[in-house]
Amino acid sequence: MLGFGLRYTARDSLPPSDDMDFVNHIFESDDDAYQGFPEYELIIFAVQLWLKDRWLLETNVNIYDDLIPQQFTIYGGYALWYRFGIKAGYNIENQYLTSYDQYFRDRYGESFFLVDPNAAYRNVQENSWMVVLFWYPNAGPFHAEFSLNGGVTYIGSFDYEVAFKQRNSNFTFLEKYQVKPSPSFFIHPLFSLNLDLFHFKKAVLGFRGSAAYYFTNRQMKYTKTTSAWTVTNSLTEDVVPVKHRFIKKDFSFGLYLQY
């Protein structure tokens, strides 16, 4: 399949606290001027291969609007009866974290400034392991497909450092964040409608439309080390932020070629 998709995301944005909450900074269109617009536009490549009518191999690649592949999914499965079966898979995708500087401005005011303002933005990797119940009835020119995904997801570990300098002073300090994987369960149902358009000798060209919904409760735990003046004068603490509701809604359409 070659298609085009739109992805909308939503999360609970909790009030700022004394501790950084990285989930508060997962990118979403929370600007009033962009309400209702998708966070991402996707170009979708998908291949589904049936082996001896029961074994299934499937892969998907999503390219975001920066024209760089940002999401990859692979499945392997087995049809128990009439293409109703179970599959297992792995998904990796990039999440964009942004606007940490707003947190620091709220906490430290105008008396300090970021030494490196670019440190307030980064990409991180989300990893998911899933089990899927699927039904792919391929009967007639117009047919539906259903799948119910569920599994464990987490954002991979990463380190983040940010330095501050006091205005009109030589006083500086460094905050280092070591973010740890924080697994959470997710559900991800998907529904598709397929319409065969043209029949060739050994192939069918058709149109496919899909909708999917993703839900999890997400948090990002970390260890924070604050060093004032020198690294020997440091304070280390483990931080466990509260969980946020996190939702993704995908809508896509495209053409498929079936052999």
pLDDT (mean) for 210-225: 95
99, 81, 91, 78: which is closest to 22 by C-alpha? Answer: 99
DSSP 130-181: EEEEEE----SSEEEEEEEEEEEEEEPPEEEEEEEEETTS--EEEEEEEE--
Place of tokens 């029949």: 199
Residue range(s) defining the domain that contains residue 170: 2-258
Q: Note whether 214 and 248 are within 8 A (CB).
A: yes
Lowest-pLDDT range, 59-63, 100-104, 207-211? 100-104
Report the chain's mean pLDDT, rounded to a whole number: 86
Q: Which amino acid is at 164?
A: F
31 pLDDT exceeds 60?
no
Could you give the percent of the chain with pLDDT greater than 90? 48
Q: Using one digit for the tens of pLDDT, what is the confidence trace for 138-159?
A: 767 888 899 999 999 999 999 8
Q: Note whether 215 and 186 are within 8 A (CB).
A: yes
With b for 16 or more beta-carbon neighbours within 10 A and e for fewer, the 14-52 pattern comes to: eeeeeebbbbbbbbbbeeeeeeeebbbebbbebeeebee
What's the pLDDT at 33?
A: 44
182 pLDDT exceeds 50?
yes
Q: Using one digit for the tens of pLDDT, what is the confidence trace for 93-127?
A: 998 888 777 777 777 777 777 666 556 677 889 99
What's the pLDDT at 193?
A: 93
Helix, strand, coil proportions of the chain in percent (round to 5)? 10, 65, 25
Please, which pLDDT band fits residue 179 given cuts at 50, 70 and 90? very high
Q: How many domains does the chain have?
A: 1
End-to-end CA distance of the chain: 12
Please count the residues of the chain: 259
pLDDT (mean) for 70-84: 91
What's the pLDDT at 109?
A: 74
What's the pLDDT at 78?
A: 94
Tokens for 171, please give them. Answer: 């006083």
CA 11/CA 26 separation, integer angstroms: 8
228 pLDDT exceeds 90?
no
pLDDT (mean) for 163-186: 87
Please, which pLDDT band fits residue 230 given cuts at 50, 70 and 90? low
- Parallel, antiparallel, or unpaired: how do β-strands 69-81 and 84-97 relate? antiparallel
Place of tokens 């996707």: 42
177, 174, 164: which is closest to 237 by C-alpha? Answer: 177
